[in-house]
Structure 1
Amino acid sequence: MPVYLFWGEDTYRLSKAVQALHQEVLDPEWLSFNLDKIDVASGSDGTASVIQGLNQVMTPPFGLGHRLVWLTNPLVGATADLLPEFERTLPDLPPTSHLLLTQTTKPDGRSKLTKLLQKQAQVTEFALIPPWKTAQILQMVKRAAHDLEVPLTQAAGEQLADAVGNDTRRLYGELEKLKLYSLSSDAQNNTKRIGLEIVQHLVSSTTQNSLQLAETIRQGQTDQALGLVAELLNLNEPGLKIVATLIRQFRTWLWVKLMVVSGEQDERVIARAAEVGNPKRIYFLKQAVQTVTCQQLRQSLSCLLDLEVALKQGEAPRSTLITTVVEMSHICQANPILS
């Protein structure tokens, strides 16, 4: 059945999937006649917009190709009135008409409308990889590099993963840049692999500065931490991206500390629990958490989660970040009995 529900926070991959669907079902010569995009607002206007889209998708296409009706955010604030409309429309869709529903938020699994779509539609999730799952991010980098035919060394791939994090849009942009560099710098030998130094030179890494920020906070160096916050914001680094890196680092430290305190000695077991891709990193992580307690790391992580919520609610990034960094530095400055 030609019904699709795309959802998730990875808007880049979602938009690429939408483009692929456009190319698959629409004839370019008849695009303006057979593509309808409706941005659905919440409330009664939203209900009317969805009903308009359902009526439109029942119309046969003009000329060649198929018809595609695209509704954005149709399930956000959807009312019960829409359920019978979908129940009546979906079974009778013409084979040449396609209905696409997209949204960034997860559909409410308790809703009868969502349950209907799960049965009747092709549901695809485009979730962002959590920033602390570095092994998965590295695999994503490797897959993207393979798809774009960018010959990266292992070290270059790891550096690129550290630089872009879970930002898929930036990943593909940086890989396109590296591919152009590879082709222009070595036209006679395109099989040459791109190494660490090239990635360090061409790909700016504010993630590394965010990791330095995490280190200074852990060491209770308030002045240095505030300087790094100012530097990152002056480089237009998004506040939520800074927070994502800090959460990833403090979460890793907390897991390592908990495993060490529990008496675990096997670095591979600790690496698995902390979701660290390279077990050799555990030695250095164990050294880093020697001077902080589980309680300090828990409190710091709690501060970061509160900060993330505040930023998503529209708080000013600079003042909110500064306040939280000062609070976390003071937490880590305390010198209780280490545990």
Structure 2
Amino acid sequence: MPAYYFWGDDDFALQKAVQTLRQRTLNEAWASFNYDVVPAEAANGPSQALNQAMTPPFGEGQRLVWLMNTNLGQRCPDPVLAEFERTLPQLPDTSVLLLTSTAKPDGRAKFTKFFKTWGEVREFATIPPWKTDQIHQQVAAVAKERGMNLESGTLDLLTEAVGNDTRQLHLELEKLALYWGANPQPIPPAVAAELVTVSTQTSLKLAQVLKQGDTPTALGLVNDLLDRNEPALRIVATLVSQFRLWLWLKALVGVASDAEVAAAAEIANPKRIYFLKQEVRSLSLTQLQRSLPLLLELESDLKQGRDERATLHTKVIELCRLFRPGSA
């Protein structure tokens, strides 16, 4: 397919896909002649990209034209849309047109509907850290793509260690591949534990510590997250999602079946319900109900421009006090 639209905020995964497309499309000996990058700020960028894509490649290989950071998926003027409608069906097999954007294209827009007819749209959005099932699937998929055989425990360890950081995932898998070499046996967790850097102090870990009422550890995790430039609002979004999930579980356990609980809480694998039940066993419904207003206050304070570290510290102390043993 000669036209692609890559979008998403996972910059590493997107750039890796661009590099793969480049390697597949271009003959390196002729790449300087056949590789055109059109920046978003270029005058008449879409027209320039389409004109270049219609130009036959020089020498061997194909031509790759990359329109970077475009907003056509959100807003496309009628003249530009008409130009795409006229040009895309005529793109020669010797050319590949690539559009990239951090924002999701509007599925209702005429441009998006038309592009899907003549091209391929691929998503490279960062998986939310609380969607551990999807992160686990991503770890397994990347390992398979690299031809690596991992034991299930190793997959679990990597999921915990790298979270949704695809750059870190590739680095850790490369490290494991170099160490394991041509050994056909699956890589065991013991080997991975020795080599994999657990560099993520995740917001999910913070949620677990909060529900234990462990104030010193929670404050330390907040500092670690902020020192790693984790956005404060992203930390809060993870906490809200996790505590809302626990509230759903506490409210529905004993009232609905595991399948019904999974559907209500948007959990893809109902088998996880058993383990999640253990996480909320020591918590009261009242504690979880009172936690969400505190988290929403935290989100509101941050959006009003309050100091991130001080505001997070204050609310973390309040949440730990709420979940301290004996305070139910």
Q: Give me the whole-angstrom Cα distance separating, in 2, the residues matched to 1:107 and 1:12.
A: 19
Contact 2:247 2:289 in 1 (8 A): no
Question: Could you say what the CA RMSD is over the residues aligned between the two structures, in angstroms?
Answer: 3.3
Equivalent residues in 2 for 1:218-237, closer than 5 Å = 218-234=211-227, 236=228
Contact 1:220 1:330 in 2 (8 A): no
Task: Choose which of 248, 253, 261 in structure 1 pairs with 2:246.
Answer: 253
User: Secondary structure at 1:298's aligned position in 2?
Assistant: helix
What is the letter of the counterpart of residue 302 of structure 1? L
Contact 1:68 1:99 in 2 (8 A): yes
Deviates more, 1:114-123 or 1:74-83: 74-83
> Normalized against structure 2, the TM-score is what?
0.81
Q: Give me the whole-angstrom Cα distance separating, in 2, the residues matched to 1:304 and 1:257.
A: 23
Contact 1:250 1:301 in 2 (8 A): no
Match of 1:239 in 2: 231
Q: Give me the whole-angstrom Cα distance separating, in 2, the residues matched to 1:255 and 1:207.
A: 27
Gaps of 5+ in 2: none
Q: Give me the whole-angstrom Cα distance separating, in 2, the residues matched to 1:148 and 1:10.
A: 19
Task: Choose which of 307, 310, 315 in structure 2 pairs with 1:327.
Answer: 315
Match of 2:81 in 1: 83
- CA separation of 1:232 and 1:104: change in aligned 2, threshold 3 A: closer
Gaps of 5+ in 1: none
Contact 1:218 1:292 in 2 (8 A): no
State the shift of 1:177 in Å. Answer: 0.8
Q: Give me the whole-angstrom Cα distance separating, in 1, the residues matched to 2:259 and 2:35.
A: 53
Deviations 1:238-284 (A, max 9, x none): 33675565355334323322323x734x5566466543664442342
Q: Give me the whole-angstrom Cα distance separating, in 2, the residues matched to 1:31 and 1:123.
A: 24
Task: Choose which of 255, 270, 290 in structure 2 pairs with 1:263.
Answer: 255
Contact 2:5 2:122 in 1 (8 A): yes
State the shift of 1:65 in Å. Answer: 1.5
Contact 2:39 2:67 in 1 (8 A): yes
Contact 2:63 2:96 in 1 (8 A): yes
Q: Give me the whole-angstrom Cα distance separating, in 2, the residues matched to 1:5 and 1:208.
A: 33
Q: Note if 1:69 corresponds to 2:81.
A: no
Aligned residues: 319
Deviates more, 1:272-281 or 1:71-80: 272-281
User: Secondary structure at 1:81's aligned position in 2?
Assistant: helix
User: Secondary structure at 2:4's aligned position in 1?
Assistant: strand
Match of 2:207 in 1: 214
Contact 1:131 1:244 in 2 (8 A): no
Equivalent residues in 2 for 1:1-80, closer than 5 Å = 2-41=2-41, 48-75=44-71, 78-80=76-78
Match of 1:167 in 2: 165
State the shift of 1:286 in Å. Answer: 2.2
User: Secondary structure at 1:191's aligned position in 2?
Assistant: coil
User: Secondary structure at 2:283's aligned position in 1?
Assistant: helix
